[in-house]
Structure 1
Amino acid sequence: MLWRIQRIKVTSSAMVSFQQYSTTKRRRVVVTGIGVVSPLGCGAQHAWNRILSGDCGIVRLPDDRYGTLPCKIAGLVKKGNSDGELNINLHFADRELRTMAPATVYAMVAAKEALEDANWFPEEEEMKQQTGVAIGMGMVDMEDICSTNESLKRGYNRVSPYFVPRILVNMAAGLISIRYGFKGPNHAVSTACATGAHAIGDAYRFIQHGDAKVMVCGATEASVNPLSIAGFCRLRALSTKFNDEPLKASRPFDKNRDGFVMGEGSAVIILEELDHAIQRGAQIYAEVLGYGLSGDASHLTAPNEDGLGATLAMSRAIYDARLQPEEISYVNAHATSTPLGDEIEAKAISRLLGKHGGVAVSSTKGAHGHLLGAAGNLESVFTIMAIKTGFLPPSINIENAIDAKNVHFVSNIKREWNHQKRIALKNAFGFGGTNVSLCFSQYVS
């Protein structure tokens, strides 16, 4: 069977046109499990309920080490025994914790929930070989590096033999593979704040191309420490005006935004070949339709002012999904609450999708902060849940929205998603000019 789709052309002015061409049918890929460790709590349903309620997980940093820094707030994973809190000792023995960085711990917990949700614990060797892992990390644990350097000053034997494994960005993927015996592709992405979305997109293509039938994918991050906060403050990237009002600090698309708020956590998604999921009676949350990538090729940290990089990524995801722009009714934006980035992304969305009658847009970072490498995957979970439930998650803290033609911000309160077929884009952009957009859709047999 041939599919009629349109080839995209993008000019230097970021305008997009499409030409018809044909290609063959491909393997379909669906989402069958999700797991979350986040500032909004542990457990995908728990975090989703808080998102829809307009709650916020950003807090003032309690440590005196942040006292002299301009930014004193972050989105932290809450530890404890109450509902939604993380009790690490229920998951790992002390000897295991010595071998893992906090980010790896978060990924292992999220992966366990996702696998349980998907009911995927294969015992047959063939299926273990057909199951892969793609878990990325944006930054290594600088706290570990600093403390180990201090240990080295006291003597070589003070350096832990697990130091190197703890700071490798691929170790979360490796340990998940080892724990469950998954012998398919073992992959780790590190593309700054686009990491989690790239991991999902790469896993989607592994299944499409027949490299695996099931992929455990996502990213993890635990980079809230004085050195990283200081570094981002020196870049003038973090919010500093709301230290005494942390719940109001992260405000994507609001005119009074002044920078992002760092967060930590992990989200893991189980992707599966459709026929395989149907044969085993798996639940299906949504379908992955497309994956688009681009590079700004312009600046270390700032996006192209004309939004060309974002436009390219979104248009390529639409092209890969074999859709028309007017079929996209929601965009879960990357928007981090920075003065420059939010404006540029909104204009790119307006240029590509606004002319078709407008599109709903929100960024959930107002509720949980910016999880850096784990942002795109956590927000993909919320996009998937929106598709499954028919409710659009709000951008909280929008008091005076920026101007963007035919962009309808989901401001402060959840909104019903009344479309015959719910189709969304999820954007993620990273330092170095790396851009990615994923296209998710309501599953239709």
Structure 2
Amino acid sequence: MKNPIAITAISSVSALGNSLGQAWDAYQSESHCLQETLIGNHPVWAGKLPKLLNKEILELKSSDDKYKNLDTSVLYAIYTARKAIKTAGWKLGDNFGINLGSSRGATALFEKYHEEFITDESTSTLASPTTTLGNISSWVAHDLKTKGPEISHSITCSTALHAMLNGIAWIESGMTTKFLVGGSEAPLTPFTIAQMRALKIYSNHKNSHPELVEGFPCRAFDLDKKQNTMVLGEAASVACLEKENGQKSLARIIGVGYATEPLTHNVSISTDAMCFQDSMAMALDGKPLDSVDVIVLHAPGTIKGDLSEINAIKKVFCNKTPFLTTNKWKVGHTFGASGMLSVEMAILMLQKQEAISVPFAEKQNTPKSIKNVLVNAVGFGGNAVSILLSK
């Protein structure tokens, strides 16, 4: 990076709540925020928004007649984007860019309209415009009245951190000084859950399974688990990026890395995650290994996914492995929003100077101070991103 980039605000909605304070309080508990719920005809574990928060967000539909047909993934994005720019002090109509992505996009609406088509061989007038991936950023841009560029994209589970990379590139190019970046995901639908179950990676945690400790349906960062334990969660998380000029900020971005590796299988990465090795090394850019105090793992809760990332970290950091943590055991895997939720977790640790541990993971030496946190994300296709944040 030419110069550090300031994160002047971050906003999210997830099973943790809708504020940094609520998220921090949730992280202080060793209990998860997952719940067993019926999706379609199947009871599954999921990370759902609190009921009152979800009700508040859905009220956006009645606040403007144009919003009544929008997918929940778009409503999540609008809600979090409003809060983020207010915190950052940005004004409606300012010339800032927007890059908000999603792994799945308007999943619920797409399933609804496709069911209509199967039944009647026709569909609603708004089926196409409300299910395009681009409508996430375009509706946020409309709502915030920004005059800057607006972009949507999907790079599966690393989508939000790729949005951050793109925002940084725009700012460093001099084409803009501010960018709103992140991801939004509403994946708790029957077809999406069925896809994950078909891959045999979704948690089927029951108290009758002796290999699973009671109370933790997702065992992300448990390297001794005997079965896959991924759980999906719904969330949106966005951050305000600005060219650093001495302003007050939550954290500074001091390193970025990215890599893609050739795959031998459609959903896998290599056993030692070469893409992560390359992205982490690029983000470090020659900085001392012991300057990284914490790594927020991608750790989806699958046997191979978790282990490959740990193997990559050991290859890069050797005997100087930082404190390792993740949040997917608590909120679930939020696909395209997950990377920015990990950034939020990193910011909280930098602010509070306290490492957030995983209750069932192997005990580690707690860092005495937290100055630099590395955040990882990777998606189907081996698209890894690593972001290095500084206090």
Question: TM-score, normalized by length of structure 1?
Answer: 0.80
| Superposed displacement of residue 247, structure 1 | 4.1
Q: Secondary structure at the match of 1:190?
A: coil
More moved, 91-100 vs 221-230:
91-100
Which one of 329, 334, 344 corresponds to residue 308 of structure 2?
344
Q: How far 1:370 moved relative to its partner?
A: 0.5
Structure 2, unpaired ranges of 5+: none
SS in 2 for 1:291: strand
Classify 1:154/1:301 alpha carbon distance in 2 versus 1 (closer, same or farther; 3 Å): closer
Question: What secondary structure is seen at the aligned counterpart in 2 of 1:311?
Answer: helix
Letter of the 2:49 counterpart:
V
SS in 2 for 1:193: coil
Q: Which moved more, 1:146-155 or 1:429-438?
A: 146-155
Q: 1:425 aligns with which of 369, 374, 378?
A: 374
Q: In structure 2, what residue type is equivalent to 1:367?
A: K
Letter of the structure 1 residue corresponding to residue 75 of structure 2: V
Counterpart residue identity of residue 146, structure 1: E
Q: Are residue 305 (structure 1) and residue 255 (structure 2) matched?
A: no
Q: Deviations over 1:396-425 (max 9, x none)?
A: 333xx4xxxxxx758xxxx5x423x61111
Amino acid at match of 1:73: W
Task: Give the Å deviation of 1:434.
Answer: 1.0
Structure 1 contact 250–397 (Cα < 8 Å) conserved = no
Report the equivalent of 1:12.
Answer: none
Deviations 1:318-339 (A, max 9, x none): 11xx623231111000011111
Structure 2 SS opposite 1:215: strand
Instruction: Quote the offset at 1:57 in angstroms.
Output: 1.4
The CA deviation string for residues 176-204 of structure 1, in whole angstroms up to 9 with x for no partner, is 11122222231222111111111112112
Residue 26 of structure 1 aligns with an amino acid whose one-letter code is K
Contact 1:58 1:247 survives alignment (8 Å): no
Aligned to 1:395: 358
**Which range is displaced more, 306-315 or 138-147?**
138-147
Partner residue of 2:143?
179
- Report the secondary structure of 1:192's partner residue: coil
Instruction: Please tell me whether the aligned partners of residues 34 and 330 of structure 2 are also in contact (alpha carbons under 8 angstroms).
Output: yes
Does structure 1 residue 271 correspond to structure 2 residue 236? no
**Do the aligned residues in 2 keep the contact of 1:60 with 1:243 (CA within 8 Å)?**
no
Question: Which of 117, 140, 148 matches 2:113?
Answer: 148
| Cα offsets for 1:147-189 (capped at 9, x unmatched) | 2123235657x63322222212221211111122222231222
1:391 CA drift (Å): 1.4
Partner of 2:283: 317
Amino acid at match of 2:105: V
Change beyond 3 A, Cα 1:78–1:306? same
- Other-structure match for 1:169: 133
**Aligned-partner Cα distance in 2 for 1:180–1:207:** 19
Residue 355 to residue 66, structure 1, CA distance change in 2 (3 Å): same
The CA RMSD measured in Å over matched residues stands at: 2.3
Q: How many Å apart are 1:364 and its aligned residue?
A: 0.9
* Alpha-carbon offset, residue 264 of structure 1: 0.8
State which structure, 1 or 2, has the greater radius of gyration over its C-alpha atoms.
Answer: 1
Q: Aligned with 2:373: secondary structure?
A: strand
Q: Aligned with 1:397: secondary structure?
A: coil
Matched, 1:248 2:226: no
User: 1:87 is matched with which residue?
Assistant: 56
Confirm or deny that 1:285 pairs with 2:250.
Answer: yes
Q: CA deviation at 1:101?
A: 0.9
Q: What corresponds to 1:224 in structure 2? A: 188
Measure the CA separation in 2 of the matches of 1:307 and 1:63.
33
Pairing partner for 2:68 from 98, 105, 128: 98
Alpha carbons of structure 1 residues 272 and 242: separation in structure 2 relative to 1, 3 Å: farther
Contact 2:39–2:188 (8 Å) recurs in 1: no
Of stretches 258-267 and 97-106 in structure 1, the one that deviates more from structure 2 is: 97-106
The answer to whether the Cα contact below 8 Å between 1:300 and 1:431 also exists between their aligned partners in 2 is yes
**CA distance in 1: counterparts of 2:127 and 2:232, whole angstroms:** 24
Give, in whole Å, the separation in 2 of the partners of 1:142 and 1:134: 19
2:291 and 2:372 in contact (8 A); partners too:
yes
Q: Which moved more, 1:389-398 or 1:243-252?
A: 243-252
Q: Which stretch has the larger CA shift, 183-192 or 430-439?
A: 183-192
Q: Deviations over 1:79-107 (max 9, x none)?
A: 22xxx665125444263443311111111
Q: Distance between the aligned counterparts of 1:104 and 1:373, measured in 2?
A: 13
Q: Which residue of 1 aligns with 2:81?
A: 111
Q: Quick check: 1:98–1:162 contact (8 Å CA) kept in 2?
A: no
Q: Of 365, 387, 391, which aligns to 1:438?
A: 387
Query: Residue 41 of structure 2: SS of its match in structure 1?
Result: helix
Give CA-to-partner distance per residue, 1:100-140, whole Å, 9 cap, x none: 111111111111111121121156xxxx23x1101000013
Which amino acid in 2 is paired with 1:60? E
Deviation at 1:347, TM superposition (A): 1.5
Instruction: Return the match for 1:61 from 15, 31, 37.
Output: 37
Check the 8 A contact 1:36/1:266 in 2, yes or no: yes
